[in-house]
Amino acid sequence: MPTLEEQIQELLASQQAAPVLPTLPRGTPDDGTRPGLLGRIGEVLAGGQSPTYRLGGREADAAGNRALLNFGLNMLQASGPARVRPDLLSAAATGLQGAQQSMDLDQRRAAAVAQQDYQQRMDLAKLGVEQNRDRIERMKAGLSLLQLQNRSQPLDEPGTGTAGAGGGGAGGGALQFTGDKEKDRLIIQQRESGGDPTALNYVAKADPTAYARGATAGGLYGFTNTTWAEGAKLAGVDVSKYPEARKAPPKVQDAVFDAIYDKRGTAPWDPSKWGQNWVRNAAGGYDLVKTGTGGTSTPPPYKVAGPPQPPPTGSTPPPPTQQPPAAPAAQAALPEAEARAKAAETGQPVPMLGADGKPSGLVIKPDGSMANAPPPTATAPTATAPAPQQPDDTIGLPPGVPGYRAFREANLRQPTPEERRLFGGELTEADKKGVQTERAELERALQNAQRARQLEGGDASTIVAARQKIADHEAKVREAATAARKAGEDREAKWWEQQETQLTARHGELIKGAETRLTADNAVTNARKTKVLEGVDSDVALTGDRIGSLEALRVLSKQVGSGTLIGDIQVGGRSLADIITATGWGGPELGKKAADVQQFQAAVNAAIKDIKSGVAMGAVSDRDLIFLENMVANPRQDERTRNLIITGLIAAQERKRDVAVRIGNLVGSGVAPHQAIAQAHKEVAPIFRQVPPEIDKGPPDKRGDWFRDNVRPGQLYRRGDNTVDVYPGPDGAQ
């Protein structure tokens, strides 16, 4: 296995590759589609696209459609009313100009978006180049430190021991926990990290392969990635933002510690619960070995960052990173990022959640690939607490607009792996040069002290002092790295803040557009409602007048009495009724009869126009309409026939009135006008109630019951032989 020094040198060589910078696109990416017929026509009318930025696929189709629409609108506007009527060519030229302006606007808008995206990618690429350059300088400095440590190792002076030798005197006793969370917090912090929130266990630092095999502990409390993910879920921390404890702010680590301590107490730090630990092998690396049911005094502590710190009296090594593997059937599905981390840590496939938050049916293998999940095995049901119900954030929004949570979930962009790497804070170039210069001076001082001791003898105090200066320098570098990491976290927080700001603005524009469309739709609907209601009011008023005129006509018909021909007989161009009335011929009784006939005919003539229009507007059937139009009352008919005709005409007007009233009620309750008209005509009863055959030919008692339930007194009805009559009421005959 290559040594750590060889691995760093190989990594340095791989980092020397020239960066790949983005290029400015000259057109929209090919989405595999072509513009439709209308889009191509619009592009032709616009004179084609300019070569600066070509649109393609759906964008070209949309731009062509808009150009065609602008061509028509501008041509219509140019051919509108004016003092001098424009000719066709002028109108067409105006339309072509509008199409060209529309196409140019779409191309400029698309080019601006592409330029903005290119600038963002270029900024990220430049930042990546700068970060990569800084990373190379840091690795060079680390390589120098490693070479110095390897040269000074044989001296075996205090402070020079490696992770395998420096903790051998830990003893077999357990940490003396107090049961008080705040006191235990300080004990654990001192034991695990010495108070450094960015600490990484020295096993992983001495043997980089150990991290992939489970030595992932880090941060203030030495959380492994598995325990960190468990505590983060309890504390409500986003593990996609802070995948490791050492990458989280101290306040976040404190919150996760509180959640773990409240649930499991000191068990994660109790050696009696481990059963395995890290032991240094002959090659200088570390292996995870079984240690029985409790701890052991042989393995050194593995989670302390840097060289092992002296543990408190009676303390023992902290717990191993790997927990005993659970049965696959008992594993809970995790988000993709957590599943990948856990699979790499445990060496076992981990179920993955889908985008909808439900198990996807896939597992993440330790090598990072995906596979179908095995069939689930039967397990005992476990009670789960109901998830807290989120308030409805769609209240008050226009119809069809999603709430912000759903909109955010559907549109929030996650950072790419390249962007996440850029979030890692690094020292600046000037800081790195200063660190290298100071480090070189300290190393020379240590080398001089070592040579002086070899040549002149004496104690090792000078060497110890030189190494202490190097240790102080390392602490100073760690502080600077912490500050740089904090700057990276700030950049990441700003990135997420920009995402939220953009989503909030986009959601606001969505709401604004929906409200604008809703306002326009409401204006059109209200105008239609107003027009319909005005027509309803007019119909109700007119039908009331017509019904009054027809009722007066019924009274005059009764005065005329039985049928008479004196109104139809013509003598010298005048009716007999006019002659009798003018001359008094035939006596008073005949004169009164002639006067009644004159009044009746005058009323009939005045009502004929309104009768026919009223019947037509009453929406009766063709058969009923023809019948009523051809049956105008006249004096020569008997009184019953005239009454039947007048009743039918009144029924037609009443139906028109009832239909109008029902339409008004439906429109007022929110029904669309066209639906209200159709519904009202279906609901309002017809003019003539059709008597069913079984009733028409049935016994009188059944006929009487049916008429009482279905026909009101004075209403027309049609028999089975298509004859029409008026229902007089329960006391009359049918």
pLDDT tens figures, 48-82: 888 877 888 888 888 889 988 988 888 888 777 76
Q: Please compute, for residue 457, the number of CA atoms within 13 A of its CA located in the half-sphere on the CB side.
A: 0
The whole-number pLDDT of residue 261 equals 94
Task: Delimit the domains of the chain by residue range.
Answer: 4-149, 180-306
The whole-number pLDDT of residue 628 equals 55
The 3-state DSSP composition of the chain as helix, strand, coil percent (nearest 5) reads 60, 5, 35
The whole-number pLDDT of residue 613 equals 58
Residues 64, 42 contacting (CB under 8 angstroms): yes
The whole-number pLDDT of residue 511 equals 92
Q: At what angle do helices 461-560 and 639-668 cross, to 10 degrees?
A: 170
The whole-number pLDDT of residue 16 equals 59
* Confidence class for position 258, pLDDT limits 50, 70, 90: very high
**What own/partner pairs with CB < 8 Å and gap ≥ 24 does 123-131 have?**
124/418, 124/419, 124/422, 125/19, 125/20, 125/21, 125/22, 127/422, 128/19, 128/418, 128/421, 128/422, 129/19, 130/429, 131/421, 131/422, 131/424, 131/426
**What is residue 231's DSSP assignment?**
H
- The most confident of the ranges 5-14, 420-429, 499-508 is 499-508
* Confidence class for position 257, pLDDT limits 50, 70, 90: very high
Residues 700, 712 contacting (CB under 8 angstroms): no
- The tokens for 412 are 């929030």
Pairing of strands 574-575, 570-571: antiparallel
Which stretch of 213-217, 302-306, 692-696 has the lowest confidence by average pLDDT? 302-306
Q: Tens digits of per-residue pLDDT, 529-546?
A: 888 888 888 888 888 888
Nearest partner of 715 among 697, 728, 702, 704, judged by Cα: 728
Q: Residue 571: which residues within 8 A CB-CB, separation 6 or more? A: 579
- The most confident of the ranges 129-143, 172-186, 256-270 is 256-270
Q: How far is CA 641 from CA 555, 622, 638, 644, 724, in A?
A: 14, 21, 6, 5, 10
Q: What angle do CA 109, 114, 117 make, to 5 degrees?
A: 130
- The tokens for 77 are 């506007």
Q: Is the pLDDT of residue 302 over 50?
A: no
Residues 708, 730 contacting (CB under 8 angstroms): yes
Q: Is the pLDDT of residue 617 over 80?
A: no
Q: How far is CA 519 from CA 401, 404, 527, in A?
A: 15, 22, 12
Nearest partner of 595 among 564, 572, 641, judged by Cα: 564
What average pLDDT does this structure show over 255-284? 83
Which value, to the nearest 10 degrees, does the dihedral of the CA atoms of residues 89, 94, 95, 96 take? 90
The whole-number pLDDT of residue 233 equals 93
Mean model confidence pLDDT for the chain: 76
- Tokens 């300290």 belong to which residue? 442
What average pLDDT does this structure show over 373-391? 57
Task: Considering only residues 350 and 625, tell me which one the structure prediction assigns the higher pLDDT.
Answer: 350
What do you get for the CA distance between the two ends of the chain, in Å? 114
Q: Is the pLDDT of residue 602 over 60?
A: yes
pTM to 2 decimal places:
0.33
SS (H, E, C) 569-596: CEECCEEHHHHHHHHCCCHHHHHHHHHH
Q: Please compute, for residue 308, the number of CA atoms within 13 A of its CA located in the half-sphere on the CB side.
A: 23
Task: Considering only residues 520 and 24, tell me which one the structure prediction assigns the higher pLDDT.
Answer: 520
Which stretch of 107-111, 426-430, 448-452, 548-552 has the lowest confidence by average pLDDT? 426-430
